[in-house]
Amino acid sequence: MMTRSALILTAITLSSVAHASTTSQAHSESWYVEQSCLGEIEVRLPDRTRVDCLTNQYAIEYDFTHKWAEAIGQALHYGLMTNRRAGIVLIGSQEDAGYKRAWDVIRAYGLPIELNTLKREDREQ
**DSSP for 53-122?**
EE-SSEEEEEEEGGGHHHHHHHHHHHHHHHTSEEEEEEES-TTSHHHHHHHHHHHHHT--EEEEEE---P
Please give the C-alpha separations between residue 62 and each of 4, 42, 54, 74, 118, in angstroms, as whole numbers: 41, 11, 11, 10, 9
Whether pTM > 0.85 for this model: the answer is no
pLDDT tens digits, residue range 51-106?
A: 999 999 999 999 999 999 999 999 999 999 999 999 999 999 999 999 999 999 99
> How high is the mean pLDDT of the chain?
84
pLDDT surpassing 70 at residue 3:
no
Angle, CA of 38, 59 and 124, to the nearest 5°: 45
